[in-house]
Amino acid sequence: MAEFTTPPALPVHVALAVVFQVRVGVLEVLLWERARDPFRGMWSLPGGALVSSETLEQSILRHLATKVDVREVAHLEQLGVWSEPARHPERWELATAYLGLVPLGIDPRVPADTRWHPVDDLPATAFDHGSIVRAGRERLRGKLSYSNIGFALAPDSFTLAELRDIYEAALGYEVSATNLKRVLLRRGAIEPVGTRRSHGPAGGRPAGVYCYCSRRLEVTDPFAVLRPPGA
């Protein structure tokens, strides 16, 4: 006689977005405040459940559109999968997280329940979202070493001092503008645009203006590693 068994329950699959932007010299992440249990009143990454007939990429773009204009996200890539069975207190939930970057100078409109928070001073976060944010920061730091991903944090044009400030905010340590220029020019990541910009009322010699040669992700030095001074 044939035996019939109940198929195992499948996990709910959610897509989450770790969206970073350098704001006033600080690397910040976009979080929204939960209005219901579990973790009511705590902060979580934007995202939600995957529905039938959509890919993970379509899902995260759909969810992001409710929190920030996705046209302002200059780069989006899959960060990783979090599959700890107990990561959600009420159900079996599998999470695929994405890393998103918004350039300096853009101020996306966000809903009232959504805010930017310094990565080094996160509020109480729901589920394992704090660790996912930190994983996103480490991914960003690594890619700043060997790729041109800085284009997704920088405006269309910038001075070397402005680019240095972006790198310092993302990396968490001081960066020499002279060394940054040498490295990025040698790799063909940036180029001068042929204009100069004054420093403002304080005066000083006008600074050269640069831009990224490409605003698509490219590996420029697969073996490079940026390290803090003295490391």
* 17 and 82 fall within a common domain: yes
Q: Tell me: the pLDDT tens digits for 171-204?
A: 999 999 999 999 999 999 999 999 998 765 555 6
Q: Tell me: the pLDDT tens digits for 119-130?
A: 999 999 999 999
* 78 and 96 fall within a common domain: yes
Contacts of 74 (CB under 8 A, 6+ apart): 101, 102, 103, 151, 152, 153, 215
In a domain, 1, yes or no: no
Q: What is the pLDDT of residue 203?
A: 59
CATH number, position 21: 3.90.79.10
CATH number, position 189: 1.10.10.10
In a domain, 228, yes or no: no
pLDDT at 63 over 60: yes
Whether 117 contacts 189, CB under 8 Å: no
Whether 102 contacts 74, CB under 8 Å: yes
* 26 and 140 fall within a common domain: yes
Whether 98 contacts 17, CB under 8 Å: yes
Pull the structure tokens for residue 80.
Answer: 């990783």
pLDDT at 229 over 90: no
83: containing domain: 12-145
CA distance 23 to 28: 7
* 36 and 88 fall within a common domain: yes
Q: What is the pLDDT of residue 205?
A: 83
* 89 and 132 fall within a common domain: yes
* 34 and 114 fall within a common domain: yes
* 88 and 194 fall within a common domain: no
* Domain C-terminal end among 118, 145, 172: 145
Cα Rg of the chain, angstroms? 20
Residue at token pair 């890919």: 55
> Which amino acid would we find at residue 171?
L
Q: What is the mean pLDDT of residues 6-10?
A: 77
Q: What is the mean pLDDT of residues 2-8?
A: 68
* 16 and 64 fall within a common domain: yes
Concatenated DSSP letters for 2-29? ----PPPPPPEEEEEEEEEEEETTEEEE
* 104 and 202 fall within a common domain: no
* 71 and 172 fall within a common domain: no
Q: What is the pLDDT of residue 10?
A: 87
pLDDT at 1 over 70: no
Number of structural domains found in the chain: 2
In a domain, 220, yes or no: no
CA distances from 220 to 165, 186, 213, 225, 228 (A): 21, 10, 11, 12, 20
In a domain, 125, yes or no: yes
In a domain, 37, yes or no: yes
Whether 127 contacts 179, CB under 8 Å: no
* 139 and 198 fall within a common domain: no
Q: Tell me: the pLDDT tens digits for 76-97?
A: 999 999 999 999 999 999 999 9
* 35 and 127 fall within a common domain: yes
Q: What is the mean pLDDT of residues 61-68?
A: 94
| 3-state helix/strand/coil string of 101-128 | ECCCCCCCCCCCCEEEEEHHHCCCECCC
